[in-house]
Amino acid sequence: MSWLSLTFKVGSDYVDSVSDQLLEQGALSVDVHDAGEGTDQEQPLFGEPGAFPEQFWRQAEVTVLLEENTDVDEIVQAVARVMGISALPDYQLTQVVEQDWVRLTQAQFEPIKISSRLWVVPSWHDLPDPAAINLRLDPGLAFGTGSHPTTQLCLGWLDEFLQPGDSVLDYGCGSGILAIAALKLGADRVMGVDIDPNAITASLENSRNNLCDPDKLLFTTALSFSGGSDHADTRQRPVSVVVANILANPLIVLAPVLMNALQPGGRIVLSGILETQADEVLQIYSEWFDMQIAAKDQGWVLLAGRKSVNRTL
């Protein structure tokens, strides 16, 4: 079995109407992306929270998946009518042959060596080093397979600096990879927080697959701390280590929240920050933390520091 892939360019004013028409004509899927992607004409569109991007790229490239027996001329003519042009738009047509998509997807993910003792290994792979700490993580609905530089920066810091008995908050836990790593590396209690319920579902599944102790590892969408009350759930007390791999803008907004979640003298680790954004984040966090750039990788930075004992909100 095979399908047809039809690709053409369209101005931003027609993206919605053309996409709707294609779906009405029986398209199996419609993918819209920047026509200038990978060139000096590339147009960033989706920014961080707090930004206000344009709705579409000025010039979009549309890729349509069609049944093999589809009348392509009829599809292209319908697109021309929607765009109000008499000449048919230029297009490329290719055949998509059926393949083992699961196997192809799995082939993209290989075991990742973080250090001599820490690996991230997809479930379908044999363990490269059975004696190491192996995190079993598969691609899923949440961010965090271990392949992104920001995740590797955080894992590297945990591997090098986490102390046995530490308590850890993983804010924006995604797949739960950092929280699970912290527990495996010797943390006494760990909390993973994420506003996305799908992330919590993925984190819980990954924690079970990694045989984590549920009494020491908590995942939740709500963050609240008791200020260290002896009568509070120990998992809700301020922690000795906070790690947050998100984005620069949310990290700036969350600075007071993360400060309150950390014990005096505790350590904080921030990633998801581009080198060009590091100074701004450092300036915000310097009100409560002695911070510095601890590591860099492919244009991303890891900021790490310690909470000053005498500084509070």
Residues 125 and 217 in one domain: yes
pLDDT (average), residues 284-293: 95
Residues 114 and 194 in one domain: yes
Q: Does residue 313 form part of some domain?
A: no
Tell me which of 249 and 144 has the higher pLDDT: 249
Residues 135 and 175 in one domain: yes
Q: Which of the four pLDDT bands, split at 50, 70 and 90, describes residue 229? A: very low
Query: Is 172 marked within a binding site?
Result: yes
Query: Is 194 marked within a binding site?
Result: yes
Query: Is 151 marked within a binding site?
Result: yes
Question: How many helices (H) and strands (E) are present in the chain, helices listed first?
Answer: 8, 14
Tokens of 243: 């790690």
At residue 88, the pLDDT reads: 83
Residues 246 and 282 in one domain: yes
Q: Which of the four pLDDT bands, split at 50, 70 and 90, describes residue 228? A: very low
At residue 232, the pLDDT reads: 43
Residues 88 and 208 in one domain: no
Query: Is 245 marked within a binding site?
Result: yes
Print the domain residue range for 189. Answer: 106-307
Average pLDDT, the chain: 87
CB atoms within 10 A of CB 176: 30
CATH of the domain at 94: 3.30.70.120
Give the residue from 202, 201, 203 showing the smallest Cα distance to 170: 203
Residues 126 and 239 in one domain: yes
CATH of the domain at 282: 3.40.50.150
The pTM for the full model equals: 0.69
Look at 38-42, 44-48, 72-76, 304-308 and tell me which has the smallest mean pLDDT.
44-48
Is residue 99 over pLDDT 90? no
Q: Does residue 211 form part of some domain?
A: yes
pLDDT tens digits for range 18-50:
999 999 999 999 999 888 877 777 766 555 555
Is residue 8 over pLDDT 80? yes
As for how many domains the chain has, the answer is 2
